Amino acid sequence: MGKTDDFHDMYIAAWNEGMATGDATPVYAFLAPKYHGWVGQDATSISEFETAEAKDGFAQVVRGMQGSTVHASHRTVGMRGEDEAVVFYEMSYRRDSQVIARALLMESWRRVSGSWKLHRDITELNAPVLEPDIPSAESIGAIHQEA
C-alpha cells in the first residue's frame, strides 16, 4: 500500500463487496481487535459500540442494503506520522443513481505489521448531503420532455 489513501480505497471496496454479496466479512478484515465506535442520529443521542457489536451492525447493513453501493465523497486523509491517519468523509449509500442514505464519518487508522486497521470512528447518520444528489435517468428524461 504505497499512497496514504490506498488503504481507504480498499476499505470502501470491501464495503462494496459486502453490499454486493450480503456478507460483511471483507469489512471485518479492516477492524482492529479493540475497535471502538460511536454513532449518532441527532444532536442529543449517541450509541457506543465495540468490535463484536460493530460486526453485528455491519452485517445488518450489508444484508439490509444488499445491492446498494457505497461511495466516499469529500474525503480528507490527515497523516499523523507514517503509520497513523485520520480520515474524514461523507459516505453515501446508493441504489442505482438514488442516494438512499448518507453519513459523515471521522475515522482513526493505524498501520500494524504492514496492514491498516480501523481503531475508532464517529459516525453521524443521515447527515445533510454535501453534494447535489445525482439525478435519476427518469428525472433527466422528464426535464428534457418539458423543454
Q: Where are the domains of the chain?
A: 6-146
* Whole-number pLDDT of residue 133: 45
* Whole-number pLDDT of residue 141: 42
Report d(CA 116, CA 134) in Å as an integer.
Answer: 32
Instruction: Please give the chain's pLDDT, 147 residues, in tens.
Output: 345 569 999 999 999 999 999 999 999 999 999 999 999 888 888 889 898 999 999 999 999 999 999 999 999 999 999 999 999 999 999 998 889 889 999 999 999 999 999 999 999 987 655 544 444 444 444 443 444
* Whole-number pLDDT of residue 142: 43
Instruction: Look at residues 2, 133, 4 and name the one whose alpha carbon lies nearest to residue 75.
Output: 4
**What pTM was estimated for this model as a whole?**
0.81
Is residue 109 within 8 A of residue 84, CB to CB? The reply is yes
Task: Pick 6-146's CATH classification: 3.40.1280.10, 1.10.3470.10, 3.50.50.60, 3.10.450.50.
Answer: 3.10.450.50
